[in-house]
Structure 1
Amino acid sequence: MLDVATGEVLASKSATTPLIPASNTKTLTTLAVMNAFDGEERFATTVVQPEPGRIVIVGSGDPTLLSVPAKAGTYPRPATTQDLAARTAEALKQAGQTSVTLGFDATWFEEPGWNATWPANYRDQVTQLSALWVDEGKLPAGGRSRTPALDAAKTFAAQLTANGITVTGEPTPATGSGDEVARVESLPLHVLVETAMNRSNNSYTEVLGLQLARHVGQPTTFAGSVAAIRAELTELGVWDEGTVLHDASGLSRSNLVTANMLAKAMLLLDSQPHLSVILDGLPTAGVTGTLADRFTDDISSPARGVARAKTGTLSLVSSLAGTTITDDGRLVSFAFIINGPPDGWASKVWADQATGVVASCGCS
């Protein structure tokens, strides 16, 4: 536990022992991303025309791209291929073209899309990574696509057809070159980060890791993503000796980080305005998100509505890291990582109660 204003260590036990953090890896990834970017960047999905009668849809890693608009009143409202198809059809008709063949280009990332440390049964938790997908690669009939770029292109082809453009043949891989016909752009990066954290979305966070790798000149692979995250965290003074990362989302059971790292990360998020957008994506204890149904007993309840924290859960792994105001008005950051508990629910209750004790203490 750290004092956010001074950095003073208020309490510590085994804080530098590397342990499996589960989804709290996302805290480190998003911190690294926001440290490297301005936060206003957007990632475009474009349609280009290498030659008359031929168009190519090109992805540049918008993780939130949808096929159709989100329901009215929902937040956020990402770009859609429906909009892109309408714009493309209008431009083609103005050029006197009503029939095309369609290619797709997802080479913005080199990564073939599946981490070697993820078991096959995680395919319901994360999509095969791609620089081009719609609806996070989730299939209408259920499950997740293993060919998300191809499926996105097929969706786009159907939408072009609905807009009066005949698409001849099946979409094929292609190089995106030629004049731009139409484009849609992602939400600003800071909103993508907020959304990834709020939903604890594995696919979104892995794409953000690849975007970070590309931005800083690393290969757009899992190894490049991890190298980029390490470099940013080292610059911030957060990286601890013995830390091991294999992915950006925390699905890998081979990841090892320290509670000290997570507490330092949370301190930075609550003390630096540029990074504080990540806090906007954290649930409030007993109120929102993954913490809505927690902090219900007398010991943990002092943290209800006060603490904001990121959870992490895998089999035999539980973590909780965040910030809270203590009873005497002190802002502190905290992190708990529990590995190997025989009772997963009991470990969550323990972390909630520890947070409640911190919130109710006079720590001055």
Structure 2
Amino acid sequence: MEQRRTWRLSAVSAVVGLVVAVASVFAAGPWDSGQRKAERARAAGSTATGGERHGGPSRAAPSASPVLAPLGTAAVAPSPDSGDDAVPRPTGAGLADALEPLLDDGALGRPRSVSVVDAATGRQVYGARADTQAVPASIIKLATGVAALSALGPDHRIRTTVVGPDGDGKAGDGDRIVLVGGGDPTLTAHPVKGADHPAGLRRLADRTAAALRKSGTESVRLGYDTSLYSGPDLHPIGPNENISPVTPLMIDEGRLDDSDHGPAPRSEDPAVDAARAFASMLRDRGIEVRGEPRPAKAGKSGKAAKGGKDGATALATVRSQPLSALVERMLTNSDNDIAEALARQTAIAAGEPASFDGAGRAVTARLRALRLPLSGARIADGSGLDRADHVSAALLAQVLVRAADPDHPELRPVLTGLPVAGFTGTLRGRYARDAVGRGVVRAKTGTLTGVNTLAGTVVDADGRLLVFAFMTNGTTDPQGAQRALDRMASALANCGCR
């Protein structure tokens, strides 16, 4: 009887959740300065104590709780444990009954690492080899996002700057100017409008040309500075359609087509391409650019390249969207270029070299500062493309717990950026036949050959906010493994699990 009641409750909730999810996706747009409009509006109506209300006479229970998940409002605060709005806690035995039959699916490889945590208490309610280290694939981006937000704050913006080589803001040394890469992979050569859109190379050309004309300069040589990063620029996987060479200066992520996410042909030298495009734009604006752009250093001290007080020395500057928006975009589309850029921004903030090794150390240090369980973990890159990454399901579940913690509002974009099952990002094409999970599960996906992972949030049938991390390596049927993980997430949504 209890199972039938739970099934009916979840079915009704899921249907309503679908409607609201569609509305919220279109209302919010893909990103709005890092905070979904629907989520922000709903959060404004929260109680002063920060506890999201899941019941009461004015609410349309039982569908209210699952509806909050696609809106992102469950991220405002975990489910309350006391008072009129108290939500029943799941039990380990109840979760075992729901998940363990699904863990026997032959499509899942070994090891199988599972952690389900109650967001309100931060305690693991169910685990299966939860502390076992496994290759995470792209769900490592959850750690990258939390580390970057913790180190820099959600309002941080990445600058791309044009300076003179002597650092005084004037075109010197034979009228040479230098385009300084600040590490923004979303710098675009396409036309952009509005302050909340990604930084535009055209806008930077407008400002640079205006500054040069104001100083009476009509002819320049152009250099470009990529000294912000160190170490190899090729990811260990080598040239690949999933990621460009990792350089602090690029346009449109080094893509050679009109795409803005997913695999694409990539530039072999994104910095050169960006500098050439910038030179062409200056010429279009009446500034003569003599010769080909060449590598250069920005000023004697290189302050502009290294994040110093470049505002006083810049001829012109554009800034990226806020870090909160970059994190959301990274997670929604599983964007590898943004992930590696954010890992390096974390390294710069920590005083580490902006390299794969330095970024790995910096991200690890930020997670340690958040008191996350790092024993045995190795973070080798920011994107999860490197199979040298090894983390546990317990660690990634606790990363999500920190993002849901009302004491860490700066981390909330990690939750609002999670794809919505059946609707957005890397989950758009999944859960098509799953009425329980569709529109309710929000999760980051991870896929490499032989690796399938899923980690995110779900509101269960009782209205309890749970976070989960499912990891399996050694799979031979990727589609089957993916379906198995999706069924596990849906089981959490369908479960009161008491």
Letter of the 2:389 partner, please give it. Answer: N
Q: Deviations over 1:111-149 (max 9, x none)?
A: 331233x2x3x5211110111111111235972122211
1:139 aligns with 2:256: yes
- Deviating above 6 A after TM superposition, structure 1's stretches of 4 or more consecutive aligned residues are none
Offset of residue 76 of structure 1: 6.4
Kindly report which structure 2 residues correspond to 1:1-12, keeping only aligned pairs within 5 A, or say none.
1-12=116-127
Local SS of the residue matching 2:443 = strand
Task: Tell me the matched-pair count.
Answer: 357
Q: Distance in 1 between matches of 2:191 and 2:314?
A: 23
Q: Distance in 1 between matches of 2:447 and 2:149?
A: 24
Q: Which residue in the other structure is 2:131 paired with?
A: 16
Tell me if structure 2 keeps the 8 A contact 1:69–1:79. no
Q: Distance in 1 between matches of 2:495 and 2:215?
A: 70
Q: Which residue in the other structure is 2:164 paired with?
A: 49
Q: Which residue in the other structure is 1:58 paired with?
A: 180
Kindly report which structure 2 residues correspond to 1:116-265, keeping only aligned pairs within 5 A, or say none.
116=236, 118=237, 120=238, 123-140=240-257, 143-177=265-299, 179-265=313-399
Offset of residue 316 of structure 1: 1.0
Which entry has the higher C-alpha Rg, 1 or 2?
A: 2
Q: Deviations over 1:309-340 (max 9, x none)?
A: 00001111110000110101111101100111
Tell me if structure 2 keeps the 8 A contact 1:66–1:80. yes
Local SS of the residue matching 1:328 = coil
Tell me if structure 1 keeps the 8 A contact 2:243–2:336. yes
Tell me if structure 2 keeps the 8 A contact 1:69–1:78. no
Offset of residue 85 of structure 1: 0.9
Q: Distance in 1 between matches of 2:223 and 2:373?
A: 42
1:295 aligns with 2:424: no
Local SS of the residue matching 1:12 = strand
Letter of the 2:244 partner, please give it. Answer: T
Q: Mark the CA change 1:189 to 1:316 in structure 2 (over 3 Å): closer, same or farther.
A: same
1:111 aligns with 2:228: no
Letter of the 2:135 partner, please give it. Answer: I
Q: Distance in 2 between matches of 1:15 and 1:321?
A: 13
Offset of residue 359 of structure 1: 0.9
Q: % of aligned pairs identical? A: 41
Local SS of the residue matching 2:363 = helix
Letter of the 1:256 partner, please give it. Answer: H
Q: Distance in 1 between matches of 2:295 and 2:452?
A: 42
Which residue of the other structure, out of 209, 223, 241, is the alignment partner of 1:89? Answer: 209
Q: Deviations over 1:266-323 (max 9, x none)?
A: 11212232211111211111222211222234xx532221121000011111100001
Q: Deviations over 1:185-229 (max 9, x none)?
A: 111111111111122110110011011001011111111100011
Tell me if structure 2 keeps the 8 A contact 1:196–1:204. yes
Task: Compute the RMSD of aligned alpha carbons.
Answer: 1.8
Q: Which residue in the other structure is 1:334 paired with?
A: 468
Which residue of the other structure, out of 192, 216, 219, is the alignment partner of 1:99? Answer: 219
Q: Deviations over 1:22-69 (max 9, x none)?
A: 000101111111111222111211111230521111111112100122
Q: Distance in 2 between matches of 1:188 and 1:286?
A: 27
Tell me if structure 2 keeps the 8 A contact 1:16–1:240. no
Tell me if structure 1 keeps the 8 A contact 2:186–2:251. yes
Q: Distance in 2 between matches of 1:295 and 1:187?
A: 31
Q: Which residue in the other structure is 2:49 paired with?
A: none
Local SS of the residue matching 2:164 = strand
Q: Distance in 2 between matches of 1:218 and 1:91?
A: 34
Q: Distance in 2 between matches of 1:267 and 1:345?
A: 28
Letter of the 2:250 partner, please give it. Answer: W
Letter of the 1:163 partner, please give it. Answer: R
With structure 2 as the length reference, what TM-score do the two structures score?
0.69
Letter of the 1:284 partner, please give it. Answer: V
Letter of the 2:134 partner, please give it. Answer: L
Tell me if structure 2 keeps the 8 A contact 1:111–1:129. no
Q: Distance in 2 between matches of 1:274 and 1:42?
A: 14
Q: Which residue in the other structure is 1:268 paired with?
A: 402
Local SS of the residue matching 1:10 = strand
With structure 1 as the length reference, what TM-score do the two structures score?
0.93
Local SS of the residue matching 1:192 = helix
Point out the more displaced range, 350-359 or 264-273: 264-273
Tell me if structure 2 keeps the 8 A contact 1:101–1:168. yes
Local SS of the residue matching 2:126 = coil
